[in-house]
């Protein structure tokens, strides 16, 4: 499969959409601890809740024939793999990355260690961001391809809408981390 890149224009368009987005200038000036808190809040409020909502919607879908069962099984398997990877990623950020970034502002003596750790992890986390985008695109394709197999019901439409909303929130999170948090944290660690 060809790797898709989340281009800045796509993310900026996504960022401009929801009313809950902070103005770009505010994020550029925000203390790192405040930016981490903002991103953790989004993870808790939008991404974790969104995952739970998608899981409920996918689990509540019922096949009407054998072709639908196969398609639904693929969707459930794809979502389970996506959820597992994203949950591990979010846990790493909240338990390790965000606290490490907060320490940069608090303690100058830890900057060298933090810089090395952040440089190594930022590359891996960035790769995981692209993998998450690819996975959500695959889920979107599975749901879209299900039009032929699933009758368009309120549940299917709710699943499509929920996935679109989750994708916007995920892109906003990725954008803010890649564009603001990681570059600023690395810059502070070098100072």
Write the pLDDT tens digit of every residue in 63-82: 765 667 888 888 999 999 99
Q: How far is CA 84 from CA 1, 51, 67, 132, 188, in A?
A: 21, 10, 26, 11, 32
- Domain boundaries defined on the chain: 31-190
Give me the mean pLDDT over the 19-40 stretch. 79
Which pair of structure tokens corresponds to residue 101? Answer: 């970034």
pLDDT in tens, 124-157: 999 999 999 999 999 999 888 765 555 556 777 8
The predicted pLDDT at position 111 comes to 72
Torsion sign over Cα 114, 118, 119, 121: positive
- How far is 133 from 169, CA to CA, in rounded Å? 11
Residue 123, pLDDT > 50, answer: yes
pTM for the complete prediction?
Answer: 0.79
């Amino acid at each position: 499969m060809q790797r898709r890149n989340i281009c800045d224009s796509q993310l900026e368009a996504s960022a401009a959409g929801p009313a809950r987005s902070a103005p770009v200038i505010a994020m550029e000036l925000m203390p790192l601890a405040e930016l981490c808190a903002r991103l953790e809040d989004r993870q808790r409020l939008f991404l974790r809740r969104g995952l739970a909502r998608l899981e409920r919607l996918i689990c509540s879908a019922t096949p009407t024939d054998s072709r639908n069962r196969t398609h639904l099984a693929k969707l459930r398997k794809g979502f389970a793999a996506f959820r597992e990877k994203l949950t591990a990623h979010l846990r790493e950020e909240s338990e390790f990355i965000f606290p490490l970034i907060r320490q940069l502002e608090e303690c100058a003596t830890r900057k060298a260690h933090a810089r090395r750790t952040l440089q190594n992890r930022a590359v891996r986390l960035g790769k995981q961001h692209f993998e998450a985008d690819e996975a959500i695109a695959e889920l979107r394709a599975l749901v879209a391809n299900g039009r032929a197999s699933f009758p368009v019901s309120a549940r299917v439409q709710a699943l499509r809408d929920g996935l679109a909303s989750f994708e916007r929130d995920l892109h906003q999170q990725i954008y803010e981390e890649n564009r603001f948090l990681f570059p600023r944290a690395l810059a502070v660690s070098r100072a």
